[in-house]
């Protein structure tokens, strides 16, 4: 009966409403197509459909107007509006002449229901899982709300497929920074980035004992390797700098606006970073022995990497990165399976690190730095 009613009154979006509200609320014996769910009566569904039609026809409605049209209280209408919005209908609440009014976004009635292909649903599940991992507890509830709204646009067959995808794929977080106590700061910082408003931050860098105040034009917030980083123009240093968000102890949003320079290219800015450090580019060559060669070849460690096979099964990797700190730590993480061949300065840094490690373990340091062996490209 419900579907017959809505079909007779508007064939353009009745499926949208029926699949997202009525199908989930009406028991099978009342015409709900076998759907499971709550005990909403048919008259409630018809009333909600009438509210939708009123909003489409009148463009702008108050609670009182909708209550008069439906013959119910404003409290009931408010609950209906909440249900309609939760089902994915694009409602807008506008304050006008001292009263709250409701409307749909322009052109909503002419927009067909959203249809997802199986591969698009897979991309959605995969991306939502990545976002969940990236944001941690910060956006947990917001992400759940987004997924809930997207699911509300799916038919029953797609909902089942969506659930199977969620059960069949998973993304696990690696080492992450904890932003549980920084949610308000992140909201303020995000608002400043979007509105192009200068901020004053109390920043506690790793190489200073106390925080210092920096005036920054925030260009972008970047998530990388389990952490959030602010990229912006530092008024103190007179250049674009990167700040770890977790080291911002206090933030004050000023009333000063700014413009992001037209020549600022974020991808260009970070292109040489091996991880997050932006520094002068250095070309590095590293030899990996046979036992580690395939592991290295299977991955893209940096966009600039070039790999050459060597006799005996080893490989060499050549890449251009920002500074030597991150690439040094990475190369040393492979222990004796990796040998830095170039540049000489990086080889000396590693030798110094090895000597300090030897002292930590009660061994005598070595002062000799042998030249790397001559390499022969495989197949040359």
Domain boundary assignment for the chain: 2-110, 118-168, 180-270, 281-360
CATH topology assigned to domain 180-270: SH3 type barrels. (2.30.30)
C-alpha 103/C-alpha 120 separation (Å) is 30
Query: Within 13 Å of residue 76, how many CA atoms lie on the same side as its CB?
Result: 15
- Backbone phi, then psi, for 102, in 5-degree steps? -125, 150
The whole-number average pLDDT for the span 27-31 is 41
Greater model confidence, 301 or 108: 301
Residue 310 has a CB neighbour count (10 Å cut-off) of: 19
Taking CB atoms within 8 Å and a gap of at least 24, the contacts of 340-344 are 340/284, 340/285, 340/286, 341/285, 341/286, 341/287, 341/316, 341/372, 341/375, 342/283, 342/284, 342/285, 342/372, 343/282, 343/283, 343/284
Domain range 2-110, its CATH number among 3.40.50.1980, 1.10.10.10, 3.40.50.2000, 3.60.110.10? 1.10.10.10
Q: What is the DSSP string of 251-266?
A: EEEEEEE----TT--H
What is the average per-residue pLDDT within 347-373? 82
Q: Model confidence over 123-170: pLDDT tens digits?
A: 888 877 777 766 665 667 777 777 777 776 676 677 788 888 878 888
Length of the chain: 380
Lowest mean pLDDT among 17-21, 140-144, 265-269: 17-21
What span, in angstroms and rounded, lies between the C-alpha atoms of 135 and 227?
A: 9
Cα torsion 191, 193, 199, 205: sign:
positive
Which of 118, 61, 68, 117 lies closest to 84, judged by CA? 61
CB 319 within 8 A of CB 284: yes
Where residue 315 falls among pLDDT bands split at 50, 70, 90?
very high
Read off the DSSP letter of residue 371: P
- Please, what is the average pLDDT of the chain? 81
Q: What's the pLDDT band for 365 if we cut at 50, 70, 90?
A: confident
CATH class of 281-360: alpha beta
pLDDT at position 2, please?
A: 40
């Amino acid at each position: 009966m419900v579907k017959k009613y809505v079909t007779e009154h508007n064939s353009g979006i009745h499926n949208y409403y029926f699949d997202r509200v009525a199908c989930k609320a009406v028991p099978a014996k009342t015409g709900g197509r076998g759907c499971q769910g709550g005990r909403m009566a048919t008259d409630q569904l018809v009333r909600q459909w009438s509210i939708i039609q009123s909003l489409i026809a009148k463009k702008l409605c108050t609670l009182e107007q909708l209550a008069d049209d439906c013959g119910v209280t404003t409290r009931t209408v408010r609950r209906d509006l909440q249900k309609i919005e939760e089902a994915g209908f694009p409602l807008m609440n506008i304050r006008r002449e001292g009263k709250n009014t409701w409307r749909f976004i322009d052109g909503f009635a002419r927009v067909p229901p959203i249809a997802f292909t199986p591969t698009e649903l897979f991309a959605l599940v995969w991306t939502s899982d990545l976002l969940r991992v990236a944001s941690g507890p910060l956006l947990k509830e917001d992400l759940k709300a987004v997924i809930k709204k997207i699911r509300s646009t799916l038919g029953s067959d797609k909902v089942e497929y969506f659930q199977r995808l969620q059960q069949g794929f998973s993304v696990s977080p690696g080492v992450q920074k904890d932003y549980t106590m920084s949610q308000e700061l992140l909201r303020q910082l995000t608002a400043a980035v979007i509105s192009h408003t200068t901020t004053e931050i109390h920043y506690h860098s790793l190489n200073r004992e106390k925080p210092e105040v920096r005036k920054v034009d925030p260009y972008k917030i970047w998530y990388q390797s389990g952490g959030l980083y602010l990229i912006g123009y530092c008024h103190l240093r007179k250049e674009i700098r990167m700040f770890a968000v977790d080291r911002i102890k206090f933030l004050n949003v000023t009333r000063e606006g700014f413009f992001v320079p037209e020549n600022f290219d974020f991808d260009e800015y970070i292109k040489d970073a091996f991880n997050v450090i932006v520094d002068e580019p250095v070309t590095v060559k590293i030899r990996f022995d046979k036992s580690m060669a395939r592991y290295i070849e299977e991955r893209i460690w940096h966009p600039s990497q070039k790999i050459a096979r060597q006799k005996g099964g080893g490989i060499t990797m050549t890449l251009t990165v920002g500074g030597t700190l991150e690439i040094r730590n990475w190369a040393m993480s492979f222990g004796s399976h990796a040998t830095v061949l170039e540049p000489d300065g990086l080889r000396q840094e590693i030798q110094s690190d090895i000597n300090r490690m030897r002292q930590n373990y009660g061994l005598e340091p070595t002062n000799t730095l042998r030249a790397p062996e001559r390499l022969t490209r495989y197949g040359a």
